């Protein structure tokens, strides 16, 4: 299990920090875990699973058209 920092998540999903926090609050995007004090991270396998889910939904939507 690998924990990645917020900037690494932003780079991976190609969104800004503001957009990342908006995703966390309004969607099923994986929630961060507190690493201590004001430091948070994300479980990389949860981020990867979310990305795969988004890709699968896109493929389903394209098949319907």
Total count of domains within the chain? 1
Which DSSP string corresponds to 24-50? HHHSSPPPPEEEETTEEEEEHHHHHHH
**What is the structure's pLDDT at 60?**
78
Among 36, 39, 28, smallest CA distance to 6 is for 39
Q: According to the model, what pLDDT value does residue 59 have? A: 76
How would residue 65 be classed by pLDDT, with cut points 50, 70 and 90?
low
Place of tokens 């389903």: 60
- pLDDT for the residue numbered 64: 67
What digits encode the pLDDT tens for the residues 26-64? 999 999 999 999 999 999 999 999 999 999 988 777 776
Question: For residue 44, what are the domain limits?
Answer: 3-64
DSSP state of 38: T
> What's the whole-model pTM score?
0.85
């Amino acid at each position: 299990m690998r924990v990645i920092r917020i900037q690494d998540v932003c780079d991976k999903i190609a969104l800004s920090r503001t957009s990342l926090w908006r995703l966390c609050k309004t969607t099923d995007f994986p929630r961060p875990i507190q690493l201590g004090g004001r430091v948070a991270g994300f479980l990389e396998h949860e981020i990867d699973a979310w990305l795969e889910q988004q890709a699968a939904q896109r493929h389903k939507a394209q098949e319907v058209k």
